Structure 1
Amino acid sequence: MLKVFIVDDESWARDIIKAFGEWESLGMEIVGEAEDGTEALRMMEVLQPHIVITDMRMPGTDGAALLQQLNDQFPAIKTIVVSGYDDFQYAKHALRFKAMDYLLKPVDPKELNTALQNCKSGLEAAQMERGTLSLDLDISYTLASYKKLLKLRFNELNTDGVKTTLDQMMKELEQSGITKAVMLEQVVQELLLLLKELMNANSQDSDSLHAPYGHEITQSGENTAAFLTHHYVTTLEQLIQQRKFKNKLNLDEVRLYMEKHYTEPVTLEQLARAFFVSKEYLSKVFKQEYGRNVTDYMLHLRMVKAKEWLMDESIPIKAIAEMAGYEDITYFYRVFKKHFGIAPGEMRKSSEV
C-alpha cells in the first residue's frame, strides 16, 4: 500500500481527511499523524511515507518549513497542502517546493481524492523511470485483502485463523513471483506496521517491533513466513493470556477498547468473546460500573464526539456522521436528535448565537 502521513495541529482536520480519503480503492493507508512539522520530520525516517498531507499554519515548524525540509531531505515524497487560508504566499510556497496540490479547508472529498490520485500517478511514473514498474504497488495490492483478514482474525483472537491467513498470503506471493529479498522486505515492513496498529488498538506495548531484524529473514519466503507467523502468533497468545487468565475482568480495558473502536460496529457478543466472559455477565457488570449498558455507552461515545466536531462549522455534517461511524446521514440525524433532543443543524445554529 502507498503510505500516507497527515500533519495538522487540529485533530478534527486530520479526522476529516481520514474520513474522506478513498484509501482502500486508491491502494493507500494512513501510517501516522503529527501536530506540527517538527514531530512529522522525526517520524519520516521510521515510517517512510510516500505521501504527506500538511496544513500550513501550525505552531513550531509550520507547513512552509516542513515542505522545504521534505523537499531537501526526502525529495521522492509527494506532498499535498491543505490550508484554511486562501493566501497567495502559502500557495507560492506550495508551488516552490513542488506540492502536488493546494486544497482549501473545509476539504472537498472529490478534490482530496483527485489530489491523492495525482500523487499516486506521479509515484508510479517515477518508479517506471527507475525501471521498477510499480513493483511495490503490486505487492501492496496483493497484501491488501490479506491485511483486512488478518485484522479481523486478530481481533477475534483466532490464532489458527491468523496462521492460515499468513500461510495463504505467502503462497500467493510466491506464485506471483514475489520472492526476492527486496520484495520480501516490503512484505515484512507492511505486516509489522499492521501488527503495531493491532497491538496499540488492544492496549499492548508495541515498542519491541522497532527492534532491527537480520537480513536472513528476507532471504527466502520460508524465512519470512516463519518470522511473521512467530510475531503474530506470539503477540496474539500474549493478548489471549492477558484476558483469559485474569482473576477479574478489567472493565477499564473493555472501556478503552470501546473508545478505540467506537466507529466500528462493535456488539456486546463480540466484546464478550474478546474478553472471555459471557455477554450476560459483561452486560451486568459494565452497567453497574458505568451506569450504561454496552450499546448505550458506544452510542454515548459517538454522540459526544459528534457534538464536539459539530462546534466547528467548517466541518460538514455529512462528514461528522461518517467519522462517528454512520454511513446513513438520515439515521445519524435521528439518533443525534433522540440523544440530545435537538437536531445537529439546530445545535450548530444555537452554538453560533
Structure 2
Amino acid sequence: MKALIVDDEKHVREGIKILADWKQYNIHAVLEAEDGEEAITLIEECKPELIFTDMRMPKMDGISLLKWLNTTNQNSVVIVVSGHEDYKYMRSAINYNSFDYILKPIDPEILNEALERAVEKWKETNKTSKDELTNSKKSLSKVAQYICEHYEEDLTLQHIADKFYLSREHLSRKFKQEYGQTITDYLTEIRIKKAKELLLQPNYKIYEVAYLVGYQDEKYFSKVFKRVVHVTPNDFRNSFITKQ
C-alpha cells in the first residue's frame, strides 16, 4: 500500500512520517506533496490508497483537493489533518467524503488509530469493489450468452435489460466497457455471421435467411448486411458459387 501526505509545511509532513506506524499496516511507500496541485499529479501517477491532507495550503487548498477526489472517484481513503477546528473545513471534509479529521498538533495515538481504521476501510471498500466487478462481469457474460442463443428473436435493449433486471443505461454502458461495442453492434455481428453461414446453403432464399437471423424485413437485412460485409447478400452468395 502507498500513502500520500499533503501539507505545505515540511515539518508537519516529516512529523506524520515519523509518528505513523507504516510497517504495521503494510504501507511500503509514503509520498509527499506541498499543495493540492502537486498532490493531484502524484495521485494520478501513483494511485495511493491513503491520503493525509492539510486544509490551508497555497495554490490549491485541501477543500479543492477533496472536491477533485470526490468528482474523479479516486479509490483512496482520505484523512484531513488540520490546525483549524473550523466548521467550514469540517463541513467540507464531510461533504466530500473524507474518512476522518485530525487536529494539529498531532497526537501519535489518535493518528495511528485513524490510520488503522483507514486501512481497514480501504480493504473493505476494495473487496466490495472487486466483488461488484466480478458480479458485473458474470451478469454481462450471461447477457452475451443470451444474445448468442436468442439472436433470431426480436431483441431490443429494453427487452434484455428487463430480462436481467438492469436499467437500460447501466447495461448499455457496462456492456460497451466490457466488450468494446454496443449491444446492438454485438447482436448485429452475431446475426451477420450466422447469415453468412446460411447464405452458403443455396436452398435458403434471401428473405428466409433474413427471417432466420432475426430480421423481418428483407430490404433492411440486405442494407445491414452490405454495411457490415460491404457486399449484398446476393453478391456474397454468388461469389461463393463462382469459387465453387
TM-score by length of 1: 0.36
Aligned length: 132
Alignment of 1:86-235 (within 5 A): 86-131=85-130
**Conserved in 1, the CA contact under 8 Å of 2:50 and 2:77?**
yes
Question: How far apart, in 2, do the equivalents of 1:31 and 1:19 lie?
Answer: 11
Question: How far apart, in 2, do the equivalents of 1:67 and 1:56 lie?
Answer: 9
Question: How far apart, in 2, do the equivalents of 1:73 and 1:91 lie?
Answer: 21
Question: How far apart, in 1, do the equivalents of 2:54 and 2:120 lie?
Answer: 22
Q: Does 1:81 align with 2:84?
A: no
Partner of 2:66: 67
Deviates more, 1:60-69 or 1:120-129: 120-129
5+ residue gaps, structure 1, are: 133-353
Question: How far apart, in 1, do the equivalents of 2:33 and 2:13 lie?
Answer: 9
Query: CA, structure 1 residues 45+131, in 2 after alignment: closer, same or farther (shift >3 Å)?
Result: closer
Alignment of 1:305-320 (within 5 A): none
Structure 1's consecutive aligned runs of 4 or more residues displaced over 2 angstroms after TM superposition are none
Residue 46 of structure 1, CA deviation = 1.1
Residues 153-202 of structure 1 show CA distances to partners (whole Å, capped at 9, x for unaligned) of xxxxxxxxxxxxxxxxxxxxxxxxxxxxxxxxxxxxxxxxxxxxxxxxxx
TM-score by length of 2: 0.52
Counting aligned pairs with the same residue, the percent is: 39
Q: Does 1:24 align with 2:23?
A: yes
Residue 131 of structure 1, CA deviation = 4.1
Q: Which amino acid aligns with 1:48?
A: K
Residues 208-237 of structure 1 show CA distances to partners (whole Å, capped at 9, x for unaligned) of xxxxxxxxxxxxxxxxxxxxxxxxxxxxxx
Question: How far apart, in 1, do the equivalents of 2:62 and 2:129 lie?
Answer: 29
Instruction: Work out which of the two has the higher radius of gyration on C-alpha atoms and give 1 or 2.
Output: 2
Residues 254-309 of structure 1 show CA distances to partners (whole Å, capped at 9, x for unaligned) of xxxxxxxxxxxxxxxxxxxxxxxxxxxxxxxxxxxxxxxxxxxxxxxxxxxxxxxx
Residue 75 of structure 1, CA deviation = 3.1
Q: Does 1:52 align with 2:51?
A: yes
Alignment of 1:242-253 (within 5 A): none
Q: Which amino acid aligns with 2:81?
A: V
Question: How far apart, in 2, do the equivalents of 1:129 and 1:14 lie?
Answer: 31
Residue 71 of structure 1, CA deviation = 1.2
**Conserved in 2, the CA contact under 8 Å of 1:57 and 1:63?**
yes
Partner of 2:137: none
Query: CA, structure 1 residues 88+48, in 2 after alignment: closer, same or farther (shift >3 Å)?
Result: same
**Conserved in 2, the CA contact under 8 Å of 1:6 and 1:14?**
yes
Partner of 2:191: none
Question: How far apart, in 1, do the equivalents of 2:70 and 2:129 lie?
Answer: 19
